Structure formats: C-alpha cells, structure tokens
Chains A and B, each alone.
Chain A
Amino acid sequence: MSLTILQKQDLDSFVRKLMLDYRVVGPVATDGRFAFEVITDPAELRLDYPTTILPPKKFLLPTKEVLFKFDNTDGGSIEAPPLDPPTVILGVHTCDVHAIQLLDAVFDTGYADPNYLSRRNRTLIVSIECLTPCDENSFCKSMGTLSADEGFDLHLTDLGDTYTVDTGSEAGEALLGQCKICHTASQEEIKRLNQVLNEKWPKFPYRLEFDISDLPSLLSMNMKSPLWNELGERCLACAACTNVCPTCFCFDVRDEVEFDLKHGARVRNWDSCQLDEFATIGDGHNFRKSRALRQRHRFMRKGKYILDAHHHLGCVGCGRCARACLVNITPVGVFNELYKQSEAGS
C-alpha cells in the first residue's frame, strides 16, 4: 500500500476528526512518566514518549471488566454489559504491537473469548516507529520486535516535520481516507524515510548474549537450574512484573455484590501467577507453592510455553517488568545467566 505523509502541524486536526467517531487513546504525560489514556484534547498526546507504565493492553483486556450484571431478586437473571465504544489507540510502539498480536492469538484459540474479541474487533491500532531506545531496560532488538510488518492499521514514522504513514489494513486505509490534509509521499520523502530507518538500527543494542531462537531450548534445558531458587529467594511475590507486562493475560473471576445484596456483577480482573494463591485449589493445596517455582513458571511461559502454543514469544522486550521489579529480576539478566551457565556446563 502507498505511503502517506501527515504534516506534524496537522496531527491535531487529524486526531480531532478521529475523536468524532472513536474513543481515542494515546500516550500522555502523568507525574513524570507516561500512560495510555483516553484523549480529550489532542495537545495531550505525547508521541515522543519513551515507554508507558502499563501497556495499551488495558484497553483490550481491562484491569477489571464486567462479564455480566446480575439480579438475584427473582431466581436470578443476568444481563450483558454495555460494549466499549469503537476505539483508536494511537502511538503504540512495535513491541506492544507484537504483544497485541500474541493476545489476539491467545483469545482466538480454542474457545474464542467474546469479550476480548468484540473489543479488539472495534479497536484500531496506530503504531509508531521507535527511533531511539526508550532506556537501558528495553531489549526489543534482541527479541525481534524493533519493527513490525503487521498488526497495525496505520503506522507512523517521525521524519522531523512530518510523519510518514504506512497502511496495514483496509480499516486503516479507510481511517486515513478521512485525512484530507494528508498527501502521498514523494520519492524524496520515501528516501528520507529509508534513511531514518537505516540510521535508527545501530542505535539499538543487542542485549541478549545469544540468538533468540535458542531461548526455548535454553529454558527447556534449565528446568532444574539453581537460578530459579536464587530468584525465589529474592522475589517479593508482589506481581509488579506481571501487572505491567504487555503479554500477561491470566485473570481471576469474582462476583461483586451491591449493598442491597441482590444486584451485582461478575467481573474479571488481571491476576498473576506470581501471587501465592494463584494455583491453590479449594481444599488449600497449592500446586506452585514456592516463589522459585512461580518465577520459573513465569519465565517458561514467556520464553517457551506461549511460543509453543501460539507461535509468538511471550516476551516482547519492552523492559517494563525490569523497570517495575523492586529486586532487579530482569528477563535480560535471567536469560543471559541461564546462557552463561549452560555455556559453562557444556
């Protein structure tokens, strides 16, 4: 599809136009950090953000969502919740684009999850090319997520005064059709885009000491590594890592009752395999009692189990968990340590 140019000065009016038909979500500054929020004024948008506290996942799989409302007055009746409005998420980094592709696969495999999919089907992704590393914790280049060939409806690249806009879907093309101020890129602009893309690549370091294709077998070989116990000793089981993760999708379902004890809602909340009770059954038996086993489970999911099941890695290298961890447990640290141990042992 053709490449389009949007002048930066016209972004404001393009977003205002989107806001007529969509709930528009994008990165905004919040207390010195950044977060994806619903945009009420395009001037709030900060497409130059390094990273956000939570990934845009929260608009597809909300931290808490109502599955249904119930009324217990007369034998019990249930009612579907209202749907979220059609949404455009602006400024999604390519690591998060990869994460959303994984979530799409997860929720569309086996039993299709109606809540996620109906929300996803009404959400458009406008991603943006990262031109500099967000900080020392990101390792997108090692994970193969420094670019995205698909998974977006539109994709922006900052050329200084202008954005180039790649089209990734028919829906994206229709969206761009509303942009009367955009124009097709000239040969000069295409050349400038290629230059920017070429220049960005060396700015990002490889942070894993081995090739990512070796990660699943590395993890398989290390089921019994002493490293898991070391992590277990350090881990506070606070679940910050899974709470900020763009690919974590485990949830809990519980009922919330109103004060009249008759009305209420069944809600699903994000949950975490790092929490003590996650694998505990009714009689109190906990199948993953130690923090070491819970950390192992987390990293096995990220680097192997999810890949085996869905053909997408469960880690996209965004670095959020590394930033959130209070005891400095990081995927880069863990994966490199396993690699070093296996090299030393072989």
Chain B
Amino acid sequence: MVAALTRLFGAKHVELAEDIVQETLLKAMHEWPYHGVPDVPAAWLHRVARNLAIDRLRRESRGLELLKENAALLRSEWTLSSTVNEMLNAPSIADDQLRMMFACCHPSLPREQQVALALKTLCGFGVPEIARAFVVSEETINKRLYRAREAFRALGSIEFPPPSELAPRLEHVLATIYLLFNEGYNSTSHQHLIREDLIEEALRLCDLLTRNATTDRGEVHALLALMLYHAARSATRIDADGSIVLLREQDRSKWDGELIALADHHLDRAVAGQAMSMYHVEAAIAAVHAHAATFASTDWRAIIGLYDQLLRLNPSPVIQFNRAIAVAQADGSAAGAFALEAVKGMEGSHLYHAARGDLLRDQGRVDEARAAYTLAATLTRSPAQNELLRRKQDACG
C-alpha cells in the first residue's frame, strides 16, 4: 500500500504515503474493537486508505508538488477518484511493490539503508521493530531512514529500470532480499537465532518478483529455491531451548517436504533460464542436502563439485571454507584440515575457528581444538552460537 500510494503522490511524498497507511491502521484499531472485524479486512483497509488519500488530495493537492503525468488528473474532481482507484487496484499494487523494490535497492543507497527502507515501506515494519531486528537504537534507524528518504526523493519517479539496466539492478534487489533472509535465518545479533518474520518477508518479496513477466528470470527462481531449501529446515535448526542443532544432528523427518517440493519446482524453473548465477549453484548445493536421507549418505562429491563451480564464479574465502568442510566429510578430517589450512582471509570469523576446532577434535587433537573453540567464542555475539561453542569446549574434556 505504501508503495502504491508513493507512486500516486510521487517519491517526494513517501512520508505522506506512510502517514496515510498509519492513519488507516489507527482507524482500524479504533473501530474494529467496537464494530467487529469487517468480513474482508484487507478490502476495508484498502477502502479507508483510498478515501484518506482522496481527502488529502482534495485538501492539499494545490500545495503538493505532484508528478507531472498525473497532477492535472488528481487536481480535478472529474478524474480524482477514478485515477486514485485505478492506481490502487490489486494488480497495479503488485507492480508498485516491484517498482518500489527497485527504488529501495537503488545502488546509490548504502546497503543498510536499503534494508531499512525496504522493511519500512515494503514490509510495513515500524521503526522499533527494525531497530530490534538489527539491535541498533531507534535513533540509528531513524537516521538511516532519513538519509535513505533524502536519496529516494532525488530519484523522482519510481519506475522499473530500463531493459538495459534490468540485470544489474535486479542483482542489487536480490542481494538485499538475500541479506534480509540471512538476517532472519541466521540472526547475527539477536537473541532469537531465527526470525520467521524476516524470512517470510524475504520469501514474499522474491515470490513477487517471479510473478512479474519482466523479473521472472532464472536467477530470481534460483534465489527463491535457495531460500526455500533453507526455510524447509529452519524448524529443526534450533531445539526447545533455543540452542543450535547442527545439520548432522537435525531430525530430517521434520524437514518441511512441501517447501522442499516448492524449492525443487523453482530450481527447475531457474535452470530453464538463460543466465547462470551464484544462486543457481548455491540452490543446487542446498538441494543435495535437502534430498539426502541422512548426513552420512549425503553426496559430498557432488557438493565439492558444486563448490568448485561456485569458486569459478566467485573465488571467495567463504566458499573455499565451505568446500573444505565438504572435503572433510568426503575424505576425512585430515584431508579437510589440509583444505582448511589453504583458506586465507577468514581468521576473523567464528565459523572458521569453530570448524577448525571440529576437525582438530576429530583427529584427537583436543587441546588445539579447545583453543580454537575459545577463540571462536570471542568472535561472535550471538548467544545461541556461544552456547554451542561452550558445549563443544566442554566435550573436549
């Protein structure tokens, strides 16, 4: 709704759009307890927001700097309500959300501002919620939003990028969605390791992209498949106490078969596309895991092969690191440790030291393993991660 209203008023008035949505929700909070929840709440909210928008335009349209293409139409009663109706109808709202996605993920905005703006305007998160999601103060989020809106205004109208720029701009959108997902799936800074709300929003936004002819592309399906494979396992990743359960120990019977089937479907669609992206390979790796009956029977050779492909696309230490873990599974901990030694540039990551600890432990080098776990624990802020590392240190005796 914010996206559609912003398109109506123009990017300069994104706050007016937010105001109207907020006013609509307030109205619902006042009226629903007394008159009951309407039969179709979404339609009620839509109607109220539309009427508020029309009221504001009636009262203020001369003072508002509107977009050239619809200013005359919004300033005359002849066309005001039908123009507003048309711009706020359902199919056009879906398109508006996509346009807004491209605008929020504009390369001129720093990533953290992109995420804050996307959560505020596309996902309807409040400032306190966004602040909580990233464990920063509300003031920080307000600052980020303020700067993002300033940059946003400079963009003027909110449009799809031209075909020549679509692919690189889409990359930015996908990167932001994936970041949102990862923050939900592997919260770096939150008491709860998994934040369902962020995961759901990331899935929803990506799904929306697959439903539009312009953005229905292989890499979008690949990212959606990748996120779905991960989401299918999310319920088994933590136990009742909120502690991490490793892939090796997860109860595979509780993985969500429906989500895996949906992921398979999108992976098929992804492979049918022209381009090959990182998301394709990462989704393929996730698919191998999702279809392995047990940890031991996982096709590690296939996974190593896929990591090799990934390294050709993007030679990064994180991928080398993950490949080394797969080598350890396929060829034993000594071979894995050897591969891990070759990885340079991850010395600041708790994951690297935790994995090094595992491989040392498996080779019986418990003292070195304990030191690696201790070092890893100093490098993460996540309570769940710390708890897991503590358990591993204790197991070293």
Q: Is chain B found bound to chain A in the same assembly?
A: no
